[in-house]
Structure 1
Amino acid sequence: MRLVDRWSIEATEWFPVDPTTVRKWRVPFLAEGEIGLRDRSSRPKRALNRTPRRVRSLLIQLRKRRRWGADRIAITSGSPFDGKHLLRHAGLGRLDRGDRATALPVRRYRECQINGGTGLA
């Protein structure tokens, strides 16, 4: 390949890229050949600050048993990111169904006619 001899000038003629990009390509090409030019994942190999599995399960239990929201879970865990992130990945949605404290269906009053008048049932 022509990258080795006059790599910067000729490569920019062959590929419509900036010379800085070609310089980035040069190091892996010289080290590994054409295999070094293949796309590589930019995903981190490991999560350094991941919440331990045991703590995550305890926080999920708090959500299910005490119906805590994301803000309160984040305060308990000490990480502002944990609340919403943890609940989203656990598949636990919003607390908008039913009564917030008990999760029972909300009973609404209905108007009905009692003896010809309007009253509450």
Structure 2
Amino acid sequence: MKNIREEKGLSYGIHSSFRNEINQGYFLIASDVKKDLKDLALEEIYKEIDILASQLVSEDELTTVKNYMTGNFVMSINSNLSLLEITKSLYKKGLSFDYYDSYVSRIQSISSEDIKNMTNKYLKGDLLEIAVG
């Protein structure tokens, strides 16, 4: 976000997420970028992946993201309907119903080294790029 939005001004916003489905999943990076800036935006995204693969995330940044993820999770289970959706998702994915009992502690246990290793294992190499517009 800092590089692509604040420093380069390529987009109003950019986000990433992991999508977990039954027996598969994918990582997604999404942003709205002007057509003539698409190649530069993709170049910068790959640079950010290279940084994650070669350098350790600072403890301050890691703490900020962990707190965001933890708070986001807690807010996502604030109603009976949301709890029902989570339970349905666990059932569909074949996960045990105590999966979320240790979810926050698993988030809090992630290290900068874990992020670097994951990036090298899953995000380095060829990625599928889809541009619409």
TM-score range, shorter chain: under 0.3
| Larger strand share, 1 or 2 | 2
| Larger helix share, 1 or 2 | 2
Query: What is the TM-score of this pair, normalised by structure 2?
Result: 0.19
Query: Looking at both structures, which has the greater relative contact order when contacts are Cα pairs under 8 Å and sequence separation is at least 6?
Result: 2
| Bigger Cα Rg | 1
